[in-house]
Amino acid sequence: MKRQLANIILFHRKRSGLTQVELAEMAGVGKNMVYELEKGKQSIQLDNILRVLQVLNIELTFQSPLRESFMKEHPDADC
């Protein structure tokens, strides 16, 4: 899964015409973090990943066998 996320981020960054440095600056994270994220490193903080995804307009969708039940009980949840 981390390799898949890394590939998605790399693809979107390149298609957006951004360098790693430009993406890092726009997301407010370090250049090394973008490099490590694109290489599939495990120990990256979730808030940093979310910042990068937001800049690239990538939306996360959660799937679970209980998702429908959860959404019924939490209608304001944004997932």
Torsion angles phi and psi, residue 35, rounded to 5:
-60, -50
Alpha helices, DSSP H only, in 1-79?
2-15, 20-27, 31-38, 46-55, 67-73
C-alpha distances in Å from residue 29, one per residue of 3, 14, 20, 33: 20, 18, 10, 7
Residues 13-62 have pLDDT tens digits of 999 999 999 999 999 999 999 999 999 887 888 899 999 999 999 998 88
- What's this model's pTM, rounded to 2 decimal places? 0.76
Q: Which amino acid is at 42?
A: Q
Q: Report how far residue 3's alpha carbon sits from residue 16's, in angstroms, rounded to the nearest whole number.
A: 20
CATH number given to 1-79? 1.10.260.40
